Amino acid sequence: MEMINQRINELLSELLGKLFSLNRIFDRAMSDLAVTHKATNSSKILHENMAHFFLKFADEISSYQQSRGMLTRYPATAEGNQTYENPLQFYEVALEEMMKFEDAVCDVIDICNVEKDWSTENFLKGIIKTWNPYLETISSIADACRNYGSDFKSQMQFDDEIEDYLTIPNLVGD
């Protein structure tokens, strides 16, 4: 018995695909930050705590689909080969992509409301609640990085001080 209609289930799978894409963007950027821009502190913190977070989130969506008797489809993700002129460029891309994901979740919430799928609507509202501190963190990082300047010396200083701009509690184990 289907407890989610096919349309909503497909939208959930699309959200899952967007999370895998975010993981791919972050994974590639962490390599670029560490190797090209020598931002090793930022790379370590964001890889462990942001890139891996997207996969955990994707697993929550898949588990929810399974709990409602539905199969998960795993959309293809784009090749991870992006390079960035400086770390700020990545942070701005990351913020934009994370905001797009939030908008996509809100769109599915609206559809759930119309379809009277209260369970999925409630699940997705929980996703947004968990998502908000991560979005706030990347926004804080982008804003702070912008203020430091884009020259190499300023970016190295920002890399040393990135922990000051993390809004997720215990992101770096403090």
Residue 150 is predicted with a pLDDT of 81
**In this structure, how many other beta carbons lie within 10 angstroms of the beta carbon of residue 51?**
19
Residue 174 is predicted with a pLDDT of 47
User: Which is more confident, 82 or 167?
Assistant: 82
pLDDT digits (tens, 9 = 90+) for 114-141: 999 999 999 999 999 999 999 999 999 9
Task: Kindly tell me the burial class for residue 71, based on how many C-beta atoms sit within 10 Å of its own C-beta (0-12, 13-18, 19 or more).
Answer: exposed
Cα angle 26-53-51, degrees, rounded to a multiple of 5 = 15
The model's pTM: 0.91
pLDDT digits (tens, 9 = 90+) for 11-26: 999 999 999 999 999 9
Confidence of residue 80 (pLDDT cuts 50, 70, 90): confident
Six token digits for residue 77: 């993700």
* Closest residue by Cα to residue 3 from 128, 123, 102: 123
**Which run of H or of E encompasses 127?**
helix 118-148
Domains and CATH numbers, the chain: 6-162 (1.20.1260.10)
Query: What is the distance between the alpha carbons of residues 15 and 51, in angstroms, rounded to a whole number?
Result: 16
Q: Which residues contact 106 (CB under 8 A, 6 or more apart)?
A: 128
